[in-house]
Amino acid sequence: KFAEQATYELSNLAAQFWALTVDNIPSYHYIYYMWDILATSYLALEAHFVVEEVQAEVAIYPPNAGQTLLSDSIKSRKVKIITGVDKKVFYEYIFTQFRADFATLVEA
């Protein structure tokens, strides 16, 4: 989709960044998720996300250090997690953002 709107500077730049990940993310099956974009879009699209409260903890020792795990242990805490999003609304929002006029954004 970024390629389809490559005439927009931000879309073109995003496509170039995405292309850089293709050979640089070590994985048997190449899959790239835009977690940071998905997470920040929650601020604008809150009503289109499904949020659940769960018990979870973060692993602090290798090999899973940093991994969030669902858990009922005494170390776990109640947290809210996003379990779904209206994909049509999300993608339309994202691609609209990347069609913004870069010069206007810089001046703002």
Structure tokens at 44: 């604008």
pLDDT computed for residue 15 by the predictor: 82
16 CB contacts (<8 Å, ≥6 apart)? Answer: none
**What are the residue boundaries of the structural domains of the chain, listed by start?**
3-107
pTM of the model: 0.70
pLDDT, tens digit only, all 108 positions of the chain: 777 888 888 888 888 887 777 666 565 555 666 678 889 999 999 999 999 999 999 999 999 999 999 999 999 999 999 999 999 999 999 999 989 877 776 665
* b/e per residue 61-87 (b: at least 16 CB within 10 A): eeeeeeeeeeeeeeeeeeeeeeeebee
At 26, the amino acid letter reads P
**Cβ–Cβ under 8 Å, residues 2 and 18:** yes
